[in-house]
Amino acid sequence: MKEPTAHMAPVVHRFFLVDVVVLFAAAAAAAIPASAEAAASSSQTDALLAWKASLDDAASLSDWTRAAPVCTWRGVACDAAGSVASLRLRSLRLRGGIHALDFAALPALTELDLNDNYLVGAIPARISRLRSLASLDLGSNWFDGSIPPQFGDLSGLVDLRLYNNNLVGAIPHQLSRLPKIAHVDLGANYLTGLDFRKFSPMPTMTFLSLFLNSLNGSFPEFVIRSGNLTFLDLSHNNFSGSIPDMLPEKLPNLMYLNLSFNAFSGQIPASIGRLTKLLDLRIDSNNLTGGVPVFLGSMSQLKVLDLGFNPLGGTIPPVLGQLQMLQQLSIMNAELVSTLPPELGNLKNLTVMELSMNQLSGGLPPEFAGMQAMRVFSISTNNLTGEIPPALFTSWPELISFQVQNNLFTGKIPPELGKAGKLIVLFMFGNRLSGSIPAALGSLTSLEDLDLSDNDLTGGPIPGNMGNNFKMQGVDHSSGNSSNSRSGSDFCQLLSLKILYLSNNKLTGKLPDCWWNLQNLQFIDLSNNAFSGEIPTVQTNYNCSLESVHLADNGFTGVFPSSLEMCKALITLDIGNNRFFGGIPPWIGKGLLSLKFLSLKSNNFTGEIPSELSNLSQLQLLDISNNGLTGLIPKSFGNLTSMKNPNTLSAQETLEWSSYINWLLYSDGIDTIWKGQEQFFEKTIELLTGINLSGNSLSQCIPDELTTLQGLLFLNLSRNHLSCGIPKNIGNTKNLEFLDLSLN
């Protein structure tokens, strides 16, 4: 065979060339998606890791590393193609912002849930690039700025939750054009200035909450035209005008309607009775008038009805007793002038009844025992009379709160009260109850807050349950004799007790030795009774939680209660007007460093004023008047830090005390001599700063150091043996309103 020469044309096997091209093309076609998928995965990984790196705290995302596929990371879910479809990062304590997140790298993302973290900054408009997004939840963070109007471009969005942030400005009307939106929650922000005229109807929306913003104007027109709504919350805004009469025709599917805390006026429209699917109606705290409508009695499906804090007037319609499904009924502070209809006893599913702060009269119907599901019962601050029906406590096994304070109830506290074994709050103060405190109270081992003050109760201090096996026994506590020791010991079974107020009664006897077993007790007021004897000593392992102790105006004796040395959290201590004697212990100034109010007045304390009291840097009121104290006024009193400047409550203290007082319904206070008269001051509203050392036998000079206490409002050093001159710098105490140096 001859070798081909240079001039000879090459022989080409075309069939072979075609096969090679086909095979190469097929391989290339297979390789392109694989490389694209890898690139997409790499892009997603880079974007998420870059965002993680930008966070101030991402400890909960420790598995977000290149060592593991992105689809296996915490909170990440992918679709079948390996694209990130869901980020569920709720409640992971993430801190930082979301501006560093490259949303364009997540084109397949359908769900973004960052709820309940610590994310800050403005919400980036770039989120609108997530064209596949169906659910966006940024609720319960610290986002600020406005809501991006570009959110209106998220055409697939079904669920939008931005509640509980710091968002401001107007709600963008572009949101009303979202074609698939069903759930919108913008509550608990600072949104304002809404012009509803630019909004379109939202026919796909079933849930809308604009709760707790600063929105105003009349009832929004676009809401009325969003006919598939089942849940509507416009509460805690500034909406005004009348409640629309057309709600049943326009929003026939409503199941939840909350218009409370606005400025709606006029009568409750009768058309509401035609909302046949409505389960929950809350229109409290408006300016509604015209009485409680009778038509409400025909809304048999209702479970919650709240009409309180409106000037409704009128009576409670007996037809409300027909609402067999009703679980919560509140008509508090509604200017009702009525008796309590016995028909309400038919509400067998009722768990909460709140009728306080009206002008209700007559008795408490025994038929109310039919409310067998009752848990929270409050009819306080009315004019109700008669005795409290014992059957209530044997018929309400789920009762946790019973509040009948500030009425005109008479008779004895029913011993059957001991059957309410789940009771946590018991307020009966401010009535005309008499007799002894029943031993059965000792059975209430879940009780945390007990207030029986301002009644005519007599007998021993605090009774109990006669052991673990509850039996009604005829225990007489009226004599204040030795029987109190046993019953008082049983009372010490109330280990959950946090608040105990028994002031302004006629209670007698000694405190039981086991008193300090109540280690959860925070507030105690036994003042203005006839208690006697020494304060029991404490066990070595005592863990004191007391913050406020009022034992004033009794007959307690003995030296200063050593048990209080363990109470490091004590803020208020008032043991004035008793018969305590001996010296004032220096350990007060060493261990009770949280004290703000200390009253030891009108006892028999002797000796010198311990200079250690000067260590009480938070002390604002010191009253040790009318004792037998001798020696000098300590110069170190000039170091009382809280008296150096005018005192006001800090923002945090105001919040803490106000929330407690609002809940308790009255404030903790203290008596002292002010401008020649004994006055009661509510320390939680306005802090009174002063020193009262009058009525002792203090001698020598008034220390110049007292003139440095610029925050003093009063200074009473009268009726002592002070000499020398009046300090020349006394005029520097410019806030001083009352100064008494007489009878020295």
Reduce the secondary structure of 20-64 to three states and give it as a string: HHHHHHHHHHHHHHHHHHHHHHHHHHHHHHHHHHHCCECHHHCCC
Sheet holding 263-267, edge to edge: 216-217, 238-241, 263-267, 287-289
User: Within 13 Å, how many C-alpha atoms sit on residue 292's CB side?
Assistant: 27
pLDDT at 489: 55
**Distance in angstroms (rounded) separating the CA atoms of residues 388 and 396:** 14
CATH code of residue 562 = 3.80.10.10
The residues of the chain scoring below 50 in pLDDT are 1-37, 463-487, 649-667, 673-676, 679-686
pLDDT at 465: 36
**Distance in angstroms (rounded) separating the CA atoms of residues 261 and 240:** 10
Q: What are the beta bridge partners of residue 740?
A: 716
Decide if 370 contacts 393 (C-beta within 8 A).
Answer: no
H or E stretch including 657? Answer: helix 651-664
Residue with tokens 């008669």: 386
pLDDT at 41: 62
Instruction: Specify the long-range contacts of residues 35-43, CB closer than 8 Å, at least 24 apart.
Output: 37/81, 37/82, 40/82, 40/83, 41/69, 41/70, 41/82, 43/105
Decide if 172 contacts 151 (C-beta within 8 A).
Answer: yes
114 in any annotated domain: yes
317 in any annotated domain: no
pLDDT at 474: 26
pLDDT at 31: 41
Decide if 225 contacts 249 (C-beta within 8 A).
Answer: no
Decide if 224 contacts 244 (C-beta within 8 A).
Answer: yes
524 in any annotated domain: yes
Total tally of structural domains belonging to the chain: 2
Tell which residue, 644, 601, 600, 602, has the closest CA to residue 619.
644
707 in any annotated domain: yes
**Distance in angstroms (rounded) separating the CA atoms of residues 397 and 423:** 9
Decide if 714 contacts 737 (C-beta within 8 A).
Answer: yes
Please give the DSSP secondary-structure letter assigned to residue 662.
H
Q: Is 460 helix (H, G, I), strand (E, B) or coil?
A: coil
Domain end, chosen from 60, 87, 120, is at: 120
Q: How far apart are the first and last CA of the chain?
A: 146
Asked whether the CA dihedral 25, 27, 30, 35 is positive or negative, the reply is: negative
**Distance in angstroms (rounded) separating the CA atoms of residues 573 and 570:** 7
pLDDT at 39: 54
**Distance in angstroms (rounded) separating the CA atoms of residues 674 and 695:** 14
pLDDT at 665: 33
274 in any annotated domain: no
515 in any annotated domain: yes
Q: Which two tokens stand for residue 106?
A: 């997540």
Give the ranges where 124-244 is alpha helix by DSSP (H).
Answer: 221-224
Taking CA atoms, 474 is separated from 391, 440, 480, in Å, by 19, 11, 15
629 in any annotated domain: yes
Left, alpha or beta for 131 (phi > 0: left; psi -120 to 50: alpha)? alpha
What percent helix, strand, coil does the chain show, rounded to 5?
A: 25, 25, 55
**Distance in angstroms (rounded) separating the CA atoms of residues 531 and 534:** 10
Domain end, chosen from 120, 150, 168, is at: 120
492 in any annotated domain: no
**Distance in angstroms (rounded) separating the CA atoms of residues 150 and 103:** 14
Domain end, chosen from 102, 120, 138, is at: 120
State how beta strands 697-700 and 434-435 pair: unpaired
**Distance in angstroms (rounded) separating the CA atoms of residues 165 and 139:** 7
pLDDT at 476: 28
**Distance in angstroms (rounded) separating the CA atoms of residues 32 and 10:** 35
Q: Which domain holds residue 642?
A: 507-647+658-738
473, amino acid identity: Q
pLDDT at 126: 95
